[in-house]
Every structure is written in structure tokens, then in C-alpha cells.
């Protein structure tokens, strides 16, 4: 059997992708059982919902909480059932932690077509969540979400991510040969997903832009193109076939701005920043619960040509993201622009900055200001 025939007959449901793929409908029940049986999940629910009772009667309450969870998830039979619940949760989050979300361009996308969404990366969970809700609200299918294996240190989190159509990027592999093998495997999964009309979201870079300077990493695009090389297609031809849609995400306020500034400060001061074991989980929680002000997402049209290399494609994506930033008061004030900014907005932002440690205030402002300085590049 020829290599070409092999490439045509493999699908994303093939067992070779079991190590990275999201859940299938047949696995929903077992993954939910893992979550509701997880001791850490039950303990956290008790601590959050019943803090006083937990201290004295925590052990006795655990079976009660597990029974409630089991009843709440009993009707979830498919991935769609689960994602409908996630969509309701995200809508409530928007209502309670934002001043509104603006969506541009998503209604222009073809229904039931596979796209590769590449966005700037500011928040671990919010970026793909907002893209998913934008697609959900415009009648489009949700995305398969690329997540790093560094987020999968807790079994319950792994189950939740996989139920929400996340697939795994094996960032922890260090050996060059094994790393290339894993990246080629990942590239094939992405390419086949698009061919099957399953959309993908992947960040423009590995890790969030903690300094607010959104720049597409050429390495991300080169990884995506590996499957094209297997198919004997040049970079431009293959990447144009993936229906790449750049997405610009603007947050008026970043719930993790202080944490990001502190991490950058520690790296500069000590040369290294060591994360706590579950710091990423804390970051996700802070992002979900924290105040975000206004949020805007702008989706472009699929990029069809105009580039020959990863560097040229990166520039196209960057220019779209930068030119579609929303210039919120937080950005303008940080960039030294106060004209047209209301006194109320000025006070709101400056009071926030004043509440932060003095040695981090300028770093936080620089983070917000980069959107302004990048916009005219």
C-alpha cells in the first residue's frame, strides 16, 4: 500500500490518535465518572460551597456531594450535551464578569466548514472559550482546542478538557527526535481535522503573551505545516488549504495582569521563575472569575496565499491581530493617551494600578500599552 493511500485512509478517529485526541461520545460517561469520583474535586466543592461544615463534617459530606454531582450529570450523554452546559456557563460568566462582548466576522464564516483559528493568546481558558461562544452564538460548530500537557497535572482537569473537545500538545517532551515525532503526529491530527470539517483553535505562540506583545511564533506555523510535507505539498499550498482564520482578541482588563507582571519581574530579577504545582489551575480560575471589562473578538477571512514562508504568514496574522485591537481606556491611558478618555474610566484604571505593588505598576501598564504601540506597525 502506497504512502499516499495511507494518508488518505487515516482519520482522526484512528486509534493512532488516542494519545492526543478529545473524547468521543462513547467515552462521556466514563470521563464524567472520573470527575465526580475525584477526591480533589469533591474537597474543593465542599470548601467553596460549605466552608464551615467542611471543617467539622467534611468526611461525612463527601458521599452526599458525590451523589448530587452524579444526579446533575446524569443527563449528559454526548459531547454536545456537555458543551451546551459549558456554553450556558460562559454566557453567565460574560454577564457577571464583563461589561459585554462584541463579536465581529464570525457570522461571515461558512457553516459546517473546517477552519484553523489562530489568535493572540492572553488567557489559558478564556481565549478558546470566547471563540467557542462566538461560534456557538453564530450557529457554527465549536472548535477542537489545542492545549499543552502542562495543564493536565490533575486527572479531573484532563477529563474536563477532553470533554470540551481539547486535544493535547506534548510540550513536555525534550528529546529532539521524540519531540519531532510528537509534533509531526500533532500536525497530522490538525490537518485531518480540517479535512473532516472539524475546526481547530491554536494560539499564535507557545504560552501566553505575558508582556502584552502578541507575536506569532514561526515555529507554530512550521509545526502545522509538517503534515503538508508528508503529503509532498509546499508550505504555501498546504497552509492555504487549511482555511486559516486570524482572530484578534481584546480584553479591557486582564484578570491575571498582576500575576503576569510579577512573573516577568521575578524572571528579570532572579533569571528564573518557578511555577507552583497547580499555578496554571489558579490562573484559569482567576481568569474565569475576574473582572474583564469589555471584550472584543474579530475574526478575519481565511488566508489564501500572499505568503511563501512561515515568516511571511506570521506577518500577515500579526498585522491582522494588531490592526483589529480595540483601543480601550486601559490601553490608551497606559500608552499616555488621555484625550477622549472619560474621567470615570481614567479613575477606574488608575485606582486598579494604584492597588498593585509599586515595583509592578509600570510593568502592568506596559502590558496594556503594547496593544497601542503594535496597532500602527
CATH number corresponding to 3-24+78-325: 3.40.1130
pLDDT one-digit tens code per residue, 153-205? 888 999 999 999 999 999 999 999 999 999 999 999 999 999 999 999 999 99
Phi and psi (nearest 5°) for 194?
A: -60, -45
Closest CA to 306 of 205, 235, 375: 235
Question: How much is the pLDDT for 61?
Answer: 82
Rounded (5°) CA angle 244-249-254:
145
Q: Are 246 and 303 in contact (CB under 8 A)?
A: yes
pLDDT level of residue 8 (50, 70, 90 thresholds): low
- What contacts 24+ positions apart, CB below 8 Å, involve 333-340? 333/365, 333/368, 334/365, 334/366, 334/367, 334/368, 334/369, 334/372, 335/368, 335/369, 335/372, 335/373, 336/369, 337/372
Domain segments of the chain: what residues?
A: 3-24+78-325, 37-75, 327-377
pLDDT of residue 5: 43
d(CA 111, CA 94): 24
Regarding pTM above 0.85, the answer is yes
Q: How far is CA 34 from CA 24, 29, 270, in A?
A: 15, 9, 40
Per-residue pLDDT band at 39 (split at 50, 70, 90): confident
Nearest to 34 by CA among 209, 199, 183, 162: 162
Rounded Cα distance between 369 and 336, Å, is 8
Place of cell 452564538: 137
pLDDT tens, position by position, 269-311: 999 898 888 888 889 999 999 999 999 999 999 999 999 999 9
CA distance 235 to 144: 23
Rounded Cα gap, residues 66 and 156, in angstroms: 14
Q: What is the pLDDT of residues 352-367, one digit of tens each?
A: 999 999 999 999 999 9
Amino acid at each position: 500500500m502506497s504512502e499516499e493511500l495511507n494518508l488518505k485512509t487515516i482519520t482522526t478517529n484512528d486509534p493512532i490518535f488516542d494519545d492526543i485526541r478529545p473524547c468521543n461520545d462513547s467515552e462521556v460517561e466514563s470521563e464524567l465518572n472520573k470527575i465526580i469520583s475525584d477526591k480533589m474535586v469533591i474537597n474543593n466543592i465542599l470548601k467553596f460551597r460549605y466552608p464551615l461544615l467542611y471543617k467539622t463534617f467534611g468526611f461525612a459530606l463527601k458521599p452526599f456531594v458525590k451523589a448530587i454531582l452524579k444526579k446533575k450529570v446524569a443527563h449528559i450523554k454526548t459531547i454536545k450535551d456537555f458543551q451546551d452546559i459549558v456554553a450556558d456557563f460562559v454566557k453567565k460568566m460574560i454577564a457577571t464578569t464583563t461589561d459585554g462582548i462584541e463579536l465581529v466576522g464570525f457570522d461571515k464564516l461558512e457553516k459546517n466548514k473546517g477552519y484553523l483559528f489562530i489568535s493572540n493568546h492572553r488567557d489559558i481558558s478564556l481565549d478558546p472559550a470566547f471563540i467557542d461562544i462566538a461560534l456557538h452564538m453564530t450557529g457554527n460548530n465549536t472548535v477542537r482546542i489545542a492545549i499543552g500537557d502542562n495543564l493536565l497535572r490533575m486527572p479531573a482537569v484532563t477529563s474536563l478538557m477532553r470533554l470540551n473537545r481539547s486535544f493535547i500538545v506534548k510540550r513536555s517532551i525534550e528529546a529532539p527526535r521524540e519531540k519531532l515525532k510528537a509534533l509531526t503526529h500533532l500536525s497530522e491530527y490538525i490537518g485531518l481535522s480540517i479535512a473532516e470539517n472539524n475546526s481547530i483553535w491554536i494560539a499564535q505562540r507557545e504560552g501566553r503573551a505575558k508582556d502584552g506583545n502578541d507575536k506569532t511564533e514561526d515555529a507554530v506555523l512550521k509545526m502545522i505545516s509538517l503534515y503538508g510535507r508528508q503529503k509532498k505539498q509546499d508550505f504555501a499550498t498546504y497552509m492555504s488549504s487549511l482555511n486559516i482564520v486570524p482572530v484578534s482578541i481584546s480584553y479591557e482588563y486582564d484578570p491575571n495582569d498582576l500575576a503576569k507582571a510579577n512573573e516577568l519581574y521575578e524572571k528579570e530579577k532572579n533569571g528564573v521563575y518557578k511555577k507552583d504545582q497547580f499555578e496554571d489551575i489558579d490562573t484559569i480560575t482567576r481568569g474565569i472569575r475576574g473582572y474583564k471589562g469589555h471584550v472584543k473578538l474579530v475574526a478575519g477571512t481565511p488566508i489564501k496565499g500572499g505568503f511563501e514562508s512561515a515568516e511571511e504568514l506570521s506577518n500577515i496574522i500579526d498585522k491582522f491581530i494588531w490592526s483589529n485591537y480595540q483601543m480601550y481606556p486601559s490601553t490608551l491611558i497606559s500608552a499616555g493617551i488621555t484625550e477622549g478618555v472619560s474621567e470615570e474610566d481614567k479613575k477606574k484604571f488608575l485606582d486598579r494600578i494604584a492597588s498593585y505593588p509599586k515595583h509592578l505598576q509600570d510593568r502592568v501598564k506596559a502590558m496594556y500599552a503594547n496593544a497601542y504601540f503594535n496597532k500602527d506597525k
